[in-house]
């Protein structure tokens, strides 16, 4: 054990050394680049060189964007009835911090995301529409009706399904996918409980004889459920969908539980056993063979356990509001299931042309998804150089590492709404660098004046000039309407 630790430590040290070498090399080449740039600024240089410089700058901008704007989107599910896209989080955070992926689920009216469990916990945010979530929670099937604005947690290893219950409405869900509990590096895995030809059920991994014994039905009969599903992970539940799932949904709650439990052996109890693996092949196997195993838990306890309720973001009053917008953050004090995932949630709405003042998250990295409108984001490296200055539009996904100063600015064309996850469920307490509630204002005094090399009076003039806090008016810094720019 100690050997293994030492080995891991060594590997980490080597990795860090490698990173340091690479970044030094980069810094050196950057310096060389800057010297060349200065030369090229001189007027006697030819147009061709200026062109070259322009190209290089463009390439650098693209590299920056690749780092902080998460564009690596993959369609992991695509069926007639819906789709799921996953935007992969920045792989570089894996060493020091848990990486998140961001999932986008779209489901057509009267569709079902068939029962499955994942090796990752999800925090889902129901952006539009209505849904019913079925979840095995402490040995019970909990069904929750969710509305727009609701947040809900689906723990790793818990079987769940999602039904679009909105009349004629498409369902839109955004979720965080926490890879820290995952099996593989930088991806997540679905285990479909149900399924058939497509998707393949985890049950298909057992030979027919074993399953037949486990289910106490004939192999022929079993065949019906093992190949029936062909429409993929998201299916319609009406007439043209497979019969079996519409039947499943008509079962009474108790029967559904039995049905699901026969398939998912391990009840998930995250409170007591958070660090233990939620499932294993042998447990799955045993439980299939000893179908009644799960019955015991309920008999002993007898009482009904209520599963967690969702939490609605749209009904919550903002933590901060002024003429220029509002913001709210939800941590585990507000909604306790977030504690188990150690994820926080926030929602910001800036009016046209307003700015979220430059700030720093001292405790967490931040992932953001633009819900509406457009704007820009500026991110600054710890050494005070610009890391990124980029336009954001609806659907953009960005990532801001812990400690990096940043700000967002709404375009003048309309309000700018963004939502996101922070990698800590503790109160985040962002530190503002500018504005009436900034740390500069709090630290104002002779020391700060000396530090800036100005008189106290001068410092006061500068720091007091901004009367607003947190969300600031910024017509000058706001990007113009995207359309007028021809983008
Ligand atoms: C600042 O840090 C970034 C990222 O580590 C690096 O790329 C850049 O070259 C640094 N700039 C200066 C002036 O040191
Ligand atoms: C299996 O099913 C038969 C009826 O088809 C029943 O008599 C028997 O008790 C069942 N066995 C188990 C272990 O449930
Ligand atoms: C954001 O603010 C705009 C007005 O500035 C408003 O129309 C919109 O409904 C707000 N969004 C949310 C989610 O409340």
Q: What is the CATH number of the domain that holds 361?
A: 2.60.120.10
Q: Is residue 224 part of a domain?
A: yes
Q: Alpha-carbon Rg of the chain, whole angstroms?
A: 26
Q: What letter would DSSP give residue 59?
A: H
Let me know whether 326 and 364 are in one domain: yes
What mean pLDDT comes out for the span 427-442?
Answer: 87
* Residue 108 DSSP SS3: coil
- Looking from the CA of residue 384, the nearest atom of ligand 1 is 1
Give the Å distance between the CA of 169 and the centre of ligand 3: 21
Q: Which range has the worst mean pLDDT, 113-117, 257-261, 316-320, 470-474?
A: 257-261
What mean pLDDT comes out for the span 56-74?
Answer: 83
Q: Which range has the worst mean pLDDT, 70-79, 138-147, 211-220, 306-315?
A: 211-220
- Cα of first residue to Cα of last residue in the chain, in angstroms, is 57
- Looking from the CA of residue 371, the nearest atom of ligand 3 is 13
Let me know whether 237 and 374 are in one domain: no
Q: In a 10 Å sphere around its CB, with 0-12 CB exposed, 13-18 middle and 19+ buried, how is residue 260 labelled? A: buried
Pocket test for ligand 3, best of 321, 349, 473 (most atoms within 8 A of CB): 349
Structure tokens at 379: 């991110």
Q: Which range has the worst mean pLDDT, 17-26, 93-102, 214-223, 248-257?
A: 17-26
Let me know whether 156 and 125 are in one domain: yes
Q: What confidence tens digit (pLDDT) does each residue in 181-222 have? A: 776 656 788 888 877 778 888 777 777 888 788 778 888 877
Let me know whether 183 and 79 are in one domain: yes
Give the Å distance between the CA of 43 and the centre of ligand 1: 28
Which of these, 326, 477, 485, 487, lies nearest to 416 by C-alpha position?
326
Pocket test for ligand 3, best of 172, 328, 417 (most atoms within 8 A of CB): 417
Let me know whether 237 and 185 are in one domain: yes
Pocket test for ligand 3, best of 174, 324, 371, 415 (most atoms within 8 A of CB): 415
What mean pLDDT comes out for the span 370-376?
Answer: 96
Let me know whether 291 and 324 are in one domain: no
Let me know whether 238 and 335 are in one domain: no
The pLDDT of residue 246 is 54
Q: Is the CB of 158 under 6 A from ligand 3?
A: no
Strand runs (DSSP E) across 261-415, as ranges? Answer: 311-312, 320-322, 325-330, 344-350, 354-360, 366-372, 375-380, 386-392, 397-400, 406-410
Place of tokens 């004939």: 218
Give the Å distance between the CA of 288 and the centre of ligand 3: 51
Let me know whether 191 and 265 are in one domain: yes
Give the Å distance between the CA of 103 and the centre of ligand 3: 23
Give the Å distance between the CA of 381 and the centre of ligand 1: 7
The pLDDT of residue 302 is 40
Let me know whether 221 and 248 are in one domain: yes
Buried b (16+ CB within 10 A) or exposed e, 311-320: bbbeebeeee
* Share above pLDDT 90 across residues of the chain, in percent, rounded to a whole number: 34
Task: Give the DSSP letter string of 21-43.
Answer: HHHHHHHHHHHHHHHHHHHHHST
What mean pLDDT comes out for the span 137-150?
Answer: 87
Phi and psi of 303, rounded to 5°?
-75, 160
Picking from 266, 301, 336, the residue at the C-terminal end of a domain is: 301
The pLDDT of residue 366 is 93
Q: Which range has the worst mean pLDDT, 48-52, 69-73, 179-183, 292-296?
A: 292-296
Task: Give the DSSP letter string of 438-486.
Answer: -HHHHT-SHHHHHHHTS-HHHHHHHHHT----SEEE-TTTSPPPHHHHT
What mean pLDDT comes out for the span 177-182?
Answer: 80
Split at pLDDT 50, 70, 90, the class of 313 is very high
What mean pLDDT comes out for the span 78-97?
Answer: 78
The pLDDT of residue 392 is 96
Q: What confidence tens digit (pLDDT) does each residue in 8-17 have? A: 554 544 454 4
The pLDDT of residue 68 is 87
Q: pLDDT at residue 273 above 50?
A: no
Q: Is residue 381 part of a domain?
A: yes
Q: In a 10 Å sphere around its CB, with 0-12 CB exposed, 13-18 middle and 19+ buried, how is residue 333 labelled? A: exposed
d(CA 174, CA 179): 16
Q: Is the CB of 349 under 6 A from ligand 3?
A: yes
Q: Is the CB of 383 under 6 A from ligand 1?
A: yes
Q: What confidence tens digit (pLDDT) does each residue in 329-356 have? A: 999 999 999 998 899 999 999 999 999 9
Residue-averaged pLDDT of the chain: 77
Which residue has its alpha carbon closest to ligand 1 atom 4? 381
From the CA of 27, which ligand is nearest?
A: 1
Query: Is the model more confident about 30 or about 412?
Result: 412
Give the Å distance between the CA of 213 and the centre of ligand 2: 10
Let me know whether 150 and 261 are in one domain: yes
pTM of the model: 0.70
Which residue has its alpha carbon closest to ligand 1 atom 13? 385
Q: Is residue 56 part of a domain?
A: no
Q: Is residue 48 part of a domain?
A: no
Let me know whether 158 and 230 are in one domain: yes
From the CA of 383, which ligand is nearest?
A: 1
Which residue has its alpha carbon closest to ligand 1 atom 6? 27
> What is each CA distance from 207 to 100, 192, 213, in whole angstroms?
36, 17, 10
Q: Is residue 336 part of a domain?
A: yes
Q: Is the CB of 229 under 6 A from ligand 3?
A: no
Let me know whether 285 and 234 are in one domain: yes
Picking from 301, 326, 355, the residue at the C-terminal end of a domain is: 301
Q: pLDDT at residue 289 above 50?
A: no
Q: Is the CB of 415 under 6 A from ligand 3?
A: yes
The pLDDT of residue 47 is 73
Which residue has its alpha carbon closest to ligand 3 atom 1? 349
Q: Is residue 169 part of a domain?
A: yes
Q: How many domains in the chain?
A: 2
- Looking from the CA of residue 349, the nearest atom of ligand 3 is 1
Q: Is the CB of 322 under 6 A from ligand 3?
A: no
Q: What letter would DSSP give residue 317?
A: P
Buried b (16+ CB within 10 A) or exposed e, 213-243: ebbeeeeeebeebbebbebbbbbbbeeebbe
Give the Å distance between the CA of 215 and the centre of ligand 2: 9
Q: Is residue 451 part of a domain?
A: no
- Looking from the CA of residue 30, the nearest atom of ligand 1 is 9
- Looking from the CA of residue 351, the nearest atom of ligand 3 is 5
Q: Is residue 80 part of a domain?
A: yes
Q: Is the CB of 351 under 6 A from ligand 3?
A: yes
Which of these, 201, 210, 193, 205, lies nearest to 290 by C-alpha position?
210
Split at pLDDT 50, 70, 90, the class of 266 is very low
Split at pLDDT 50, 70, 90, the class of 247 is low
Residues spanned by the domain of 328: 316-435+470-485
Picking from 253, 277, 301, the residue at the C-terminal end of a domain is: 301
> What is each CA distance from 408 to 342, 403, 405, 422, in whole angstroms?
25, 16, 11, 16
């Amino acid at each position: 054990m100690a050997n293994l630790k030492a080995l891991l430590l060594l590997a980490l040290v080597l990795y860090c050394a490698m990173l340091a070498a690479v970044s030094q090399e980069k810094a050196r080449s950057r310096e060389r680049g800057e010297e060349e740039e200065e030369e090229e600024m001189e007027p006697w240089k030819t147009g061709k060189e200026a062109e070259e410089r322009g190209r290089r700058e463009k390439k650098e901008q693209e590299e920056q964007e690749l780092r902080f704007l998460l564009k690596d989107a993959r369609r992991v599910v695509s069926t007639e009835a819906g789709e799921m896209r996953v935007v992969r989080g920045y792989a570089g955070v894996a060493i020091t911090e848990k990486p998140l992926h961001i999932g986008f689920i779209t489901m057509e009216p009267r569709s079902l995301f068939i029962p499955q469990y994942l090796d990752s916990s999800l925090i889902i945010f129901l952006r539009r529409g209505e849904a019913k979530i079925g979840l095995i929670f402490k040995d019970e099937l909990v069904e929750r009706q969710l509305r727009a604005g609701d947040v809900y947690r689906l723990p790793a290893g818990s079987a769940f399904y999602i039904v679009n219950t909105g009349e004629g409405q498409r369902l839109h869900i955004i979720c965080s996918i926490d890879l820290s509990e995952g099996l593989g590096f930088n991806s997540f895995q679905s285990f479909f409980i149900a399924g058939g030809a497509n998707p393949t059920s985890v049950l298909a991994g057992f030979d027919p004889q074993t399953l037949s014994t486990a289910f106490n039905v004939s192999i022929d009969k079993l065949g019906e459920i093992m190949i029936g599903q062909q429409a993929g992970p998201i299916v319609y539940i009406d007439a043209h969908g497979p019969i079996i799932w519409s039947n499943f949904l008509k079962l009474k709650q108790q029967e559904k539980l039995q049905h699901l439990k026969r398939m998912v052996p391990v009840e998930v109890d995250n409170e007591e056993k958070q660090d233990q693996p939620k499932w294993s092949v042998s447990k799955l196997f045993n439980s299939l063979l000893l179908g009644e195993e799960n019955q015991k838990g309920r008999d002993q306890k007898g009482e009904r356990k209520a599963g967690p309720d969702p939490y609605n973001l749209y009904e919550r009053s903002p933590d901060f509001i002024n003429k220029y917008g509002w913001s709210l953050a939800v941590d585990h004090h507000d909604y306790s299931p977030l504690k188990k995932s150690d994820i926080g949630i926030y929602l910001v709405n800036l009016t046209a042309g307003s700015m979220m003042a430059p700030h720093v998250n001292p405790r967490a990295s931040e992932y953001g998804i633009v819900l509406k409108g457009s704007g820009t984001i500026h991110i600054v490296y710890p050494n005070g150089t610009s890391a990124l200055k980029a336009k954001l539009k609806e659907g953009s996904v960005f990532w801001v590492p812990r400690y990096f100063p940043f700000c967002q600015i709404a375009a003048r064309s309309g309000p700018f709404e963004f939502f996101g996850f922070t990698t800590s469920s503790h109160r985040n307490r962002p530190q503002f660098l500018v504005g009436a509630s900034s740390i500069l204002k709090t630290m104002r005094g002779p020391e700060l004046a000396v530090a800036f090399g100005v008189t106290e009076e001068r410092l006061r003039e500068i720091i007091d000039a901004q009367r607003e806090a947190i969300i600031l008016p910024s017509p000058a810094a706001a990007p113009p309407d995207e359309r007028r720019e021809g983008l």
